[in-house]
């Protein structure tokens, strides 16, 4: 399927294009080289996903596929608007990898373990974004809340072995610890109420989706 990737002509053209772009970058100051590598990373990720689509058994290809796309998008975002990339670049990269792990579970319920790295990566991405706007104690609290929500998701989503009800214990403990850390930051007390409302909303959404998924 990918025999054309072995063509020396193709790689020769890509090398020439890369050289021209880097030369223009040196002469003009425009970050064309960064754009080139961003696009190449996205195309590389797309190739992994295409390979997975044609070989569903090779589920491992999902992870490098979404990771490369996330890194490529972050690279392009840095060229377009660096302050935005500084704020959400980590979330974009880690979140895309987390989405890949969650895709493994969505493909095969036997891979329920993938929910844990998915949730951890999403949480780390969110914390990296929140660190730019919140004090460190509060962002640490959100880290524990995110981990708790990961275990709550694991408890609700169906698996071939049934519901992972044991996951409610670490979920509750981690969320409570996180809320205490957030509340300990005096300037964050005003956010605890809205956060609880958001958690309740997420709980309802996850329960509804899990019920529909298990019934289908």
DSSP calls for 145-191:
HHHHHHHHHHHHS--TT---GGGHHHHHHHHHHHHHHHHHSGGGHHH
Closest to 97 (Cα-Cα) out of 67, 55, 56: 67
Per-residue model confidence (pLDDT) at position 207: 67
CB 170 within 8 A of CB 183: no
CB 124 within 8 A of CB 150: no
pLDDT tens by residue, 163-180: 888 888 999 899 888 888
Rounded CA separation 23/14 (Å)? 14
Residue indicated by tokens 């377009």: 80
Residue indicated by tokens 């490369």: 68
- Tokens describing residue 42: 């996205």
Per-residue model confidence (pLDDT) at position 188: 57
Rounded CA separation 116/14 (Å)? 39
Rounded CA separation 89/128 (Å)? 9
Rounded CA separation 93/72 (Å)? 9
Q: Would you write out the chain's pLDDT as a tens digit for each of its 216 residues? A: 555 455 565 556 666 766 666 676 666 666 666 777 888 888 888 888 888 888 888 888 889 899 999 998 888 888 777 787 888 888 889 999 999 998 888 888 888 899 999 999 999 998 888 887 776 777 788 889 999 999 998 888 888 878 888 888 999 899 888 888 877 765 555 666 677 677 777 777 766 766 665 555
CB 182 within 8 A of CB 195: yes
CB 111 within 8 A of CB 105: yes
161 phi and psi angles, rounded to 5 deg: -90, 5
Per-residue model confidence (pLDDT) at position 32: 66
Instruction: Map out the domains of the chain as residue ranges.
Output: 33-110, 134-216
């Amino acid at each position: 399927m990918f025999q054309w990737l072995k063509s020396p002509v193709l790689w020769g053209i890509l090398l020439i294009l890369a050289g021209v772009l880097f030369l223009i970058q040196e002469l003009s100051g425009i970050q064309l080289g960064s754009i080139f590598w961003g696009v190449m990373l996205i195309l590389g990720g797309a190739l992994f996903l295409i390979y997975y689509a044609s070989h569903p058994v090779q589920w491992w290809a999902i992870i490098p596929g979404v990771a490369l796309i996330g890194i490529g998008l972050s690279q392009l975002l840095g060229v377009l608007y660096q302050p935005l990339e500084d704020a959400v670049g980590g979330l974009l990269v880690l979140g895309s990898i987390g989405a890949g792990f969650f895709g493994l579970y969505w493909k095969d319920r036997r891979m329920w373990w993938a929910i844990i790295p998915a949730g951890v990566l999403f949480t780390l991405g969110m914390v990296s974004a929140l660190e730019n706007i919140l004090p460190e104690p509060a962002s640490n609290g959100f880290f524990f809340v995110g981990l708790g929500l990961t275990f709550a998701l694991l408890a609700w989503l169906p698996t071939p072995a049934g519901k992972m009800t044991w996951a409610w214990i670490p979920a509750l403990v981690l969320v409570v610890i996180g809320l205490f850390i957030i509340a300990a930051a005096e300037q964050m007390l005003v956010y605890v109420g809205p956060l609880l409302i958001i958690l309740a909303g997420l709980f309802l959404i996850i329960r509804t989706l899990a019920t529909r998924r298990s019934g289908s």
